[in-house]
Structure 1
Amino acid sequence: MVPIQTSLEDETYALFKLEEVLKPIGFVIGSSWEYDHGYLDIKLDDRGTYYFLRIPFKAIAGELDSPGVIVRLQQPFVLGHQYESGNDIDSRNGAIQGLVNQFQTPTDPDTDIPKEYIDMGKDYIQEVEALLIPRKE
C-alpha cells in the first residue's frame, strides 16, 4: 500500500455528489463498505495482480445506505492484490468453488507497487482534485 498526498483529505462531501462526479471517470464505491465507512475505487490494472487507487471515506452525517449522507475523505492510497490462479479449473466442482471462493484471499495482499501505478494514482488524484476543488477566478 502506498499513500498518496492530496488536499482532499479531511474535506467533506455529499456521497451522492462524489458518485455523480467520479463515476464518469471510472470510480466505483468498493464492495467492502460498512454503514460508517467505505472506499471509492478505480482499477489501474488487473494482469495477474490487481492494482487499485482507493479513496477511503467516513460517514459524518447519516449512514452510507441512507440518502443525503455526508462523508469525510481520508488519505488515498494505491494497493495491489495478487490472487491465486486456477481455483475454478476443475469443471466438475467449478460452480461450488465459485460459491465458496467468490471472495478469494489474495496470495500476496502487500505486493510491491510498481512506480507506474503510483504515478497513475497520483494522476487520478490530480484529476479528482480538479473536479472537486472549486477554482478561484
Structure 2
Amino acid sequence: MVPLESKLENKIYSLFVLEELLKPEGFVIGSNWDYEKGFFDLKIDDQGTYYFLRIPFYAVQGSLDYPGVTVRLEKPFLLAHQYQKGYDESGSAGAFQGTFNQFQAPTDPDAEVPEAYITTGKELMKRVEDLIIPRD
C-alpha cells in the first residue's frame, strides 16, 4: 500500500455527487463497503498483479444506504494484489471451476507497487482533484 497526498483528504461531499463525477472516469464503489465506510476503486492495471487507486470515504451524515448521505474523503492510496494463476491459462478449466476461482484470496494482498504506478497514481489523483474541487 502506498499512501498518496491529496487536497481532497478530509473534505466533505455528497456521495451522489462524487458518484456522478467519478463513475464516468472508471471508478466503482468497492464491494467491501458497509453502512459507515466504503472505497472508490479504479483498476489501473491487471498484468499478473492488480493495481488499484483507492479513495476511502466515511459517512458523516446518514448511512451509505441512505439517499442524500454525505461523506468525508480520507487519504487515497495505491494497492497491489497478486492473484494465483488459474488452472489453465487457455480457459479449459471450464465455467464451473471459474465460478469458484473468482473468489480466491490473493497470494500477496499487499504486493509492492512499482514507481511507474506510483507516478500514474499521483497523476490520476490530480485529475480526480480537478474534477471534484471547484475552480476559483
The TM-score, its normalising length taken from structure 2, stands at 0.91
Using the alignment, how far apart are the partners of 1:119 and 1:28 within structure 2? 21
Equivalent residue, structure 1, for 2:26: 26
SS at match of 1:127: helix
State the identity as a percent. 59
Q: Return structure 1 stretches of 4+ with deviation > 4 angstroms.
A: 87-90
Which residue of structure 1 aligns with residue 15 of structure 2?
15
Deviates more, 1:98-107 or 1:112-121: 98-107
Gaps of 5+ in 1: none
- Alignment match, 1:105: 105
Q: Which residue of 2 aligns with 1:126?
A: 126
> How far apart are residue 135 of structure 1 and its match?
1.6
After superposition, where does 1:63-78 map in structure 2 within 5 Å? 63-78=63-78
* Conserved 8 A contact 1:87-1:97: no
CA drift at 1:110 = 1.4
Q: How far does residue 103 in structure 1 lie from its aligned partner after superposition?
A: 2.0
What TM-score do you get using the length of structure 1 for normalisation?
0.90
Task: Show CA shifts across 1:32-84 (max 9, x none).
Answer: 11111000010110010000000000011111111111110000000100000
Paired residues in the alignment total 134
Which position in structure 2 is the counterpart of 1:37? 37
Letter in 2 for 1:50: Y
For residues 12 and 29 of structure 1, what CA distance do their matches in structure 2 show? 17
